[in-house]
Structure 1
Amino acid sequence: MYKSSLALAVALGVLAQQAGAAGFIEDSKLSLSSRTMYFNDDNRETGGTDQEESGQGFKLDYLSGFTQGTVGFGVDVQALWGIHLDGGRGSRPNADNSFFPSDSDGSAVHNWARIGGNAKARFSKTEAHFGSALAPNLPILVSNDGRLLPQTFEGGTIQSKEIDNLTLNAGQLTHAMGRASSNRTGLAVSGTGAFRDSNKFQYAGGDWKVTKDLTLQYYYSNLEDYYKQHFLGLTHVYQIDQNQSFKTDLRYFDSSKDGKNGETGYAFGNNSGYAKNAGEVDNKTWSAMFTYTLGGHSLMLGHQQVGDDGGFVWLNQGNVRKDGLTSGLEGAGGASFYLFTDSMINQFARAGENTTFGQYSYDFASLGVPGLKASVAYLRGDDIRLKSGNGTYNEWERDARIDYVIQEGTLKGLGFSLRQGVFRGSEESSADKDQARFIVNYTYSFL
């Protein structure tokens, strides 16, 4: 973190001289977010250790405005702090944990923290950010926020909206800070076998709003020595009337090997599935989702096809610990990707997998209870190719959740989320699970 911290300190020093400039202070925002989370992972008849833990997370964000002038400058600072509330060695499956960092005896540390920040600049309708608190949300890179604290990245990004209805994004990332770690790591693929860090993830692409109802997307990304990936996307919303709409969402990924991928230490584990060429990225995946909304009701149905040659690939933290071992993520595990099948427990992203899915949601504002929402989803994946290439198997998951956010009064904005998931697979080694989470969120804005 030394280089990014030094760059941030220099930026702060320069900006301090201009702190009185209109915009830098006046447009600043300061907020404190709190998240309390209970996590229960019940392994069913697999001999694995169940996991039951709870924790408290705090996230302090300061976002400055921009100084005056043709080019405006600013700075963002983020401080994260996680506190373990209960659990212990007996309720943790192993030392390499995705909920909390582990102590030397495998138990959770009592607390952990990290601080990062970004220097930023704005010219016209173009903004650039450089630092260690980046959290992109793009088709080829989704920052994970599924535990107490968010996953963040180190590097530089740029976004331009100079052309009406066109948003362009580009960037290069060098390191990641995991959702349950105070340390930074290099970058690798999500999957077993990737034991060498890459420190170069580059991407570029854009979103073109063709009409108010139709958006087209194209992105290209490259994780050096692992993979190259092209993405095409289309979303269209047909507004039937004020109370009804029909949304179409189409997504296509084309991924191939890059550089040393497939060699010792740079292998891609293909999500524990089949690979035409062992250790190599070779995948085409498409998905289609259709959502009909009527008042508070929303029904989504879709299908996804993962190519036969290898599993779907996405970015994750590197696998190399400071002690040089090639296993153990120091609590840094966990990454997201831009497909609906990235569900509560499973990913449905193995070679050959055909997944049909659906979700029903209801917004109780239609019944006079604003802030209350509920949903239930079901996914079933078939035709999954085994590592040996002989035969296929299937898996399914059912997820349900209820969310409520207080709409007014002293506790306005306080949110509660109760989630429950069930996963089952036909493969003998499948890790059948029942999982429950209870989350309380609150954000207080000082500025």
Structure 2
Amino acid sequence: MRTSTPRAWATLGLCTATLPFNAHADFLSDSKATLEARNFYFNRDFKQHDAPQNQATEWAQGFLLKFESGFTDGPVGVGIDAMGQMGLKLDSSPDRHGTGLLPYGASGRAPDSYSELGLTAKARYSQTVLKAGTLQPQLPVAAFNDTRLLPSTYTGELITSKEINGLTLNLGRLEKQNLRDSSSNDGMSYAGVETSHLDLAGGSFALTPNLTTSYYHARMKDIYSQDFVGLVHEQSLADGVSLRSDLRYFATREDGEHRFRSATRVDGGRIDNRFFNGMESLSVGGHRFGVGYQNLSGRGDFAYPGLDPYSVNLVTINVFTKAETDAWQLRYDYNFAAMGVPGLTFMTRYVSGSHIDTAKVSGGTERERDTDFSYVVQSGPLKNVSFRLRNATLRSGSGLTTDINETRLIVGYNLSLW
């Protein structure tokens, strides 16, 4: 079980206990609770003859219960959030483990069930909110992962301020991380090197209704420091036709180089790189056509916390963040609502990476093809039940990556409790 910061939780409990009834009424009237059920089948087939296992195949049922309170009345309002998660094993075995759905020990055997509890204390003054405890930030320098049975989380403190119209500022410290197939809080880490925390600061500003810029700085103590600059622009070209530009640039350097260089990595574990990636997307009716590009130059792999880099080439299997990786992406989406079938969508993409350097390979290549079909039932007794079929293949040159064929089937349902 994981819990929020104990001191923050105890302080909040004392504050709310001494507030008058009308403050508690505001606290409750703005609260909401939701339950998400997610049934997940995952099959990964390793195609290379020397792969350590032939398949990773598991089936599991997950439940995610979220409660978000309102804020008490007064100049400084306080509140609480809670998140309970449970995963149930439906099918797994030691020779097919490692899908990311279920935790497992040295034997490779997954438990019949696992559960987690996350608690967050929060306080609001004007348009500024402080949260302490379990966090799920979705920021360029730190993001949680939600592509398996249960989402990952961090533990720490985060301030979000929207005092100026169009400007959003974030300041925070992340001290622990809980990965998607774990029920324990572990220290922040990168490439197997653990540290005490990651600090972040930055924000985004809407220069115009169609143009938003952003800047963030992050420092994972004794491992790396990082600066990010981003730009998103959306332009209407004609009725039903629009163009979206999403450009991202990172500069990452070592912090506490002696400690990190002890890791076994390309360039002796050194980090000093620049990472540009971006996507141009043209929407025409129900169609969307996208072209993406990235260039990662300098020393070492691109560094980031958790499992999700902020990159347009974060795709189904691969992340394309190894040292020196250049990559192109072609993507196509279609929303069948344009044909009178609301709730049904399709996506396919192809990513090709080259010039990849690792400790064993120079000039390697990787390529991935993904296809998704998803449908949300629009009416009847199964209304709001979602179905998603994902299929992907990953191939590489020079033995850089294990070749993979993968299929996922996810059935989900979201229920608003109040």
Fraction of identical pairs, as percent: 34
**What is aligned with 1:339?**
311
Question: Kindly tell me: are residues 123 and 355 of structure 1, through their superposed partners in 2, closer, same or farther at Cα, counting changes over 3 Å?
Answer: same
Matched, 1:428 2:399: yes
Find the aligned partners of 1:261 and 1:253 in 2 and give their Cα distance. Answer: 23
Matched, 1:177 2:149: no
Please, which runs of 5 or more residues in structure 1 have no aligned partner? 317-334
**What is aligned with 2:86?**
81
8 A contact 1:76–1:117 mirrored in 2: yes
Matched, 1:187 2:188: yes
Q: Equivalences for 1:189-268 in 2 at 5 Å?
A: 189=190, 191=191, 194-195=192-193, 197-260=194-257, 262-263=259-260, 265=262, 267=263
8 A contact 2:68–2:80 mirrored in 1: yes
Q: Of 323, 331, 336, which residue of structure 2 is paired with 1:359?
A: 331
How big is the shift at 1:286? 0.2
**What is aligned with 1:57?**
62
Find the aligned partners of 1:9 and 1:358 in 2 and give their Cα distance. Answer: 51
Please, which runs of 5 or more residues in structure 2 have no aligned partner? none
How big is the shift at 1:415? 0.9
Question: Kindly tell me: are residues 2 and 83 of structure 1, through their superposed partners in 2, closer, same or farther at Cα, counting changes over 3 Å?
Answer: closer
8 A contact 2:261–2:270 mirrored in 1: no
Q: In structure 1, the residue corresponding to 2:382 is in which secondary structure?
A: coil
**What is aligned with 2:279?**
289
Q: Of 373, 393, 396, which residue of structure 2 is paired with 1:402?
A: 373
Which range moved further: 167-176 or 20-29? 20-29
Q: How well do the aligned residues superpose, as a CA RMSD in angstroms?
A: 1.8
**What is aligned with 2:345?**
373
Q: In structure 1, the residue corresponding to 2:9 is in which secondary structure?
A: helix
**What is aligned with 2:34?**
31
Question: Kindly tell me: are residues 430 and 3 of structure 1, through their superposed partners in 2, closer, same or farther at Cα, counting changes over 3 Å?
Answer: closer
Find the aligned partners of 1:402 and 1:204 in 2 and give their Cα distance. Answer: 37
Q: In structure 1, the residue corresponding to 2:182 is in which secondary structure?
A: coil
How big is the shift at 1:287? 1.2
Question: Kindly tell me: are residues 398 and 312 of structure 1, through their superposed partners in 2, closer, same or farther at Cα, counting changes over 3 Å?
Answer: same
Q: Of 46, 51, 58, which residue of structure 2 is paired with 1:47?
A: 51
Question: Kindly tell me: are residues 305 and 263 of structure 1, through their superposed partners in 2, closer, same or farther at Cα, counting changes over 3 Å?
Answer: closer
8 A contact 1:312–1:351 mirrored in 2: yes
Corresponding residue pairs, total: 413
8 A contact 1:227–1:261 mirrored in 2: no
Question: Residue 256 of structure 1 aligns to which amino acid in structure 2?
Answer: R
Find the aligned partners of 1:134 and 1:65 in 2 and give their Cα distance. Answer: 17
Question: Kindly tell me: are residues 82 and 426 of structure 1, through their superposed partners in 2, closer, same or farther at Cα, counting changes over 3 Å?
Answer: same
Deviation per CA, 1:330-378: give whole Å up to 9, x if none: xxxxx11110111111111111111011110000010011111001000
* Structure of greater relative contact order (alpha carbons < 8 Å, 6+ residues apart): 1
Deviation per CA, 1:124-157: give whole Å up to 9, x if none: 11111001x2000011111011111111111100
Question: Residue 116 of structure 2 aligns to which amino acid in structure 1?
Answer: R
Deviation per CA, 1:152-207: give whole Å up to 9, x if none: 11110011110011111110010011111111100111x3xx34x21211001111
**What is aligned with 2:107?**
105
Q: In structure 2, the residue corresponding to 1:350 is in which secondary structure?
A: coil
Find the aligned partners of 1:388 and 1:412 in 2 and give their Cα distance. Answer: 51
Find the aligned partners of 1:397 and 1:7 in 2 and give their Cα distance. Answer: 44
Deviation per CA, 1:67-125: give whole Å up to 9, x if none: 000010100011111101012123225xxx63211145321110001111111011111
**What is aligned with 1:323?**
none
Q: Of 250, 262, 279, which residue of structure 1 is paired with 2:269?
A: 279
Question: Residue 312 of structure 1 aligns to which amino acid in structure 2?
Answer: F
Q: TM-score, normalised by structure 1?
A: 0.89
Find the aligned partners of 2:75 and 2:66 in 1 and give their Cα distance. Answer: 26
Matched, 1:303 2:289: no
Question: Residue 30 of structure 1 aligns to which amino acid in structure 2?
Answer: A
Q: TM-score, normalised by structure 2?
A: 0.95
Q: In structure 1, the residue corresponding to 2:26 is in which secondary structure?
A: coil
Question: Kindly tell me: are residues 388 and 422 of structure 1, through their superposed partners in 2, closer, same or farther at Cα, counting changes over 3 Å?
Answer: closer
How big is the shift at 1:48? 2.6
Find the aligned partners of 1:283 and 1:75 in 2 and give their Cα distance. Answer: 40
- Which structure has the highest strand share of the two? 2
8 A contact 1:24–1:64 mirrored in 2: yes
Find the aligned partners of 2:233 and 2:349 in 1 and give their Cα distance. Answer: 22
**What is aligned with 1:314?**
304
Q: In structure 1, the residue corresponding to 2:29 is in which secondary structure?
A: coil
Q: Of 73, 82, 92, which residue of structure 1 is paired with 2:97?
A: 92
